[in-house]
Structure 1
Amino acid sequence: MDVLFEIFGHLRPLDLLHLSRTTKEFRRVLLHRSSISIWKSARENVPDLPECPASFSEPAYANFVFDTHCYVCLSPYVRAIDWRLGKRICSKCSKTSLVKALVYGVEFRGNNLIPRTYSKRDGMILFKAERETIEKRLKELSGNDKKEEYNAFVAQRMAYLKDLGELAPKLEDWAIVKANNRSEELDEARRDRKRAIIDKLTELGWGEEIESIPPTDDMSRLKAVKQPTRLTPRIWANIKDEMIAYMEDMKSKRIERERKALVMSRKRHAITVLREYKVARIPFINVMPEAPDFCAFPEVDAILELPNEVEVTQASFDNIVSDMDTLIERWRAAITRKLADAAVTMIGEQQSSSEGMDVDESHPLHLATTVFKCKQCHGYPMYDGWDSDEDDFPMFGMPLYTPRRRPLLYYPQVMGHKCLTRHQSRWGEFTNDPTQQLSDSMETMREPWSEGPLLLDDQASTAVRDIVDLCGMDPLNTTPAQLDELDPRLACLSCLNWSNEEENKTDAKVFGWRKAVQHQVSGHSGRGQILDWRLLEGDELRTYREKEAEAPASSSDATLPEPQRSQAVWKCVPCLDQITENTHTHSSVKTHLQFSHSITEPELNRDYMQMYGSDAERAELPRITLTMDRPDHVFKPGEKAMSRLEMDFFDWFSPMHDFDMPDYDSDNYDSGDY
Structure 2
Amino acid sequence: MSLLVWNVCDSETNPLPFTVSESDSDDLLESFGSSRNLSTINYVTVETWKSLRIPQTKSKSIAPDLSRLPSMHLDIVLEILGHLHPLMLVQVSRASQSFRHLLRSPITDSTWRKSLLVDAQLPCCPPQISGRRWTKLLFGRHICDDCGLPGTSPDYTICRRVCASCMDPKYVREFNLMVHKTLHAGPKSSDAEDNDSDIASPYETLDCHMVSHAVHRFFESRMAVALENRHRAEQCEAWASTVIRESRPEYWVKLKKVTVGVMNRLIAEGFDSDDVYEIQYSLRDCDVLWRKPRLTSKLWHQARPYILPQLLTMQTQRLEYQRNWRIRTRKQAILAAVILTLSTPVTGLPHCYHPPPRVIEVFPPIAQLMSEESDEPISREDPALIAALADGAQFLDAWCMEMQMLLVSVLPAATAKRPDIRLLDRATSVFQVQKPGDLATFWTAFGWDEVRTYLHWCSKQPPSYLGSHEMVTFEAGGAATVAAIAELLGLDPDTTTAAQLDAVDARFMCKTCLGVRRQALPWRECVLHDVEKSGTLTALHSVPSWTILSHLATADVRQREEPADYSSIANWACMLCHHHFRRPGTQLHDQMQNHIRDYHGIEHPAEGQHLISFVGTEHLQRRRHVTLVVGGEHPMRYRCNRCAEDQPEVVKFFSLRGIRLHLIYNHFVESPGEEDWTEDDLILT
TM-score band, normalised by shorter chain: 0.3 to 0.5
- TM-score scaled by structure 1? 0.45
Q: Give the TM-score normalised by the residue count of structure 2.
A: 0.44
Q: Which has the larger radius of gyration?
A: 2
